[in-house]
């Protein structure tokens, strides 16, 4: 198979590229040149934000599959998809479950209501949800029933440049008492970037089209298992101090950002951790155990000296030390 990867040098894009290379596919990576592409690929460079001129190196060539992970201006997806529609057999766009109208109730499938106001012609001044939905529309406008929309939820695994799992691994590795947001049995839903990549390539090669919620089943792991695994794989002597959500919220702790991955029970938890992925699982999605994701991410971090890359367009995550110290001094943390 001949794959054109739009991006392909970081996190999900790199996971897709490496998975395709592992299958013996011929891979072309089109990127801005800010990071090195994996060895073994053909490299094309250009800036998708520069309009037609930025896509000049894509003016020739044919491919069986195109995979796009773009999360900025939908017009960039539009321009690339239009340019490639007559020279590529299939277009897969890595979207997000954020395209559903908020709040998304527990168990929402692909037929749920979508955000209003999205356009494939929009620029970079739209919200993440509108950008991803606009990207979906752009892909479908150009490729029709040859377009696959992978609506991912929380994505974890080696290569993560957002800082969620890397922050927890770094914090537990330092040891000592660690604020753990309760309850320990709260279910988590996510997907390992490598599982997303494998499914995406299989589904694209099989010619699947339309939208799929590409996430684990709800409760694939729990907050307790997730953090216990972080402690175990780092080999630290960290002690998890389980703290009720009410205590954390009263102290001004922001779910998802101060304590990554965690969300208290309610609308946001249902939206992000209780979506329905039945359709994708029926189409072959397989999600590896949380222990494998955590251990492999820790091995990757250690290989980098313990510091993960950070996307410049995303905020730095994690609870600051002073707030954690105050919470740890409280009798409300177990």
Domain count, the chain: 2
The predicted-structure confidence for 106-165, as pLDDT tens digits, reads as follows: 999 999 999 999 999 999 999 999 999 999 999 999 999 999 999 999 999 999 999 999
Residue 212 domain-assigned?
A: no
Average pLDDT over residues 176-180: 98
Domain boundary among 127, 152, 177: 152
pLDDT at 307: 87
| 168 and 139, same domain (yes or no) | no
Residues with Cβ within 8 Å of residue 96, at least 6 apart in sequence: 71, 128, 129, 132, 151, 152, 153
Domain boundary among 133, 152, 171: 152
Residue 142: give the domain boundaries. Answer: 2-152
CB 173 within 8 A of CB 236: yes
Residue 197 domain-assigned?
A: no
pTM of the model: 0.97
Dist CA 200 CA 202 (whole Å): 6
The predicted-structure confidence for 211-256, as pLDDT tens digits, reads as follows: 999 999 999 999 999 999 999 999 999 999 999 999 999 999 999 9
Dist CA 216 CA 12 (whole Å): 16
> How high is the mean pLDDT of the chain?
96
Beta-sheet pairing, 187-188 with 221-222: antiparallel
pLDDT at 176: 97
pLDDT at 244: 96
| 103 and 183, same domain (yes or no) | no
Residue 284 domain-assigned?
A: no
pLDDT at 332: 72
Residue 17 domain-assigned?
A: yes
| 164 and 96, same domain (yes or no) | no
Dist CA 160 CA 268 (whole Å): 22
Residue 200 domain-assigned?
A: no
For tokens 């988590």, the residue is 188
């Amino acid at each position: 198979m001949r794959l054109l990867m739009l991006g392909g040098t970081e996190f999900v894009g790199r996971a897709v590229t490496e998975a395709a290379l592992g299958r013996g596919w011929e891979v072309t990576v089109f990127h801005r040149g800010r990071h090195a592409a994996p060895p073994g690929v053909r490299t094309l460079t250009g800036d998708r934000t520069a309009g037609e001129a930025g896509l000049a190196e894509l003016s020739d060539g044919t491919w069986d599959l195109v995979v796009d992970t773009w999360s900025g201006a939908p017009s960039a997806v539009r321009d690339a998809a239009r340019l490639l529609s007559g020279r590529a057999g299939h277009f897969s766009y890595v979207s997000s479950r954020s395209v559903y109208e908020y709040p998304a109730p527990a168990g929402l499938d692909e037929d749920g209501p979508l955000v209003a106001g999205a356009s494939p012609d929009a620029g970079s001044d739209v919200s993440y949800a509108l950008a991803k939905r606009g990207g979906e529309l752009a892909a479908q406008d150009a490729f029709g029933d040859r377009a696959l929309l992978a609506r991912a939820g929380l994505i974890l695994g080696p290569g993560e440049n957002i800082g969620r799992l890397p922050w927890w691994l770094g914090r537990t590795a330092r040891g000592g008492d660690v604020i753990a947001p309760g309850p320990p049995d709260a279910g988590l839903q996510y997907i390992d970037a490598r599982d997303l990549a494998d499914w995406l390539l299989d589904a694209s090669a099989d010619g699947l089209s339309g939208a799929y919620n590409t996430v684990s089943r709800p409760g694939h792991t729990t907050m307790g298992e997730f953090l216990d695994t972080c402690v175990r794989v780092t080999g630290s002597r960290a002690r998890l101090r389980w703290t009720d959500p009410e205590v954390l919220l009263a102290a001004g702790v922001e779910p998802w950002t101060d304590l990554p991955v965690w969300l208290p029970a309610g609308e946001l938890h249902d939206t992000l951790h209780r979506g329905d992925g039945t359709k994708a699982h029926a189409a072959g999605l397989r999600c590896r155990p949380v222990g494998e994701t955590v251990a492999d991410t820790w091995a990757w971090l250690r290989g980098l000296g313990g510091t993960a890359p950070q996307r410049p367009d995303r905020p730095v995550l994690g609870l600051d030390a002073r707030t954690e110290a105050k919470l740890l001094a409280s009798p409300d943390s177990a």
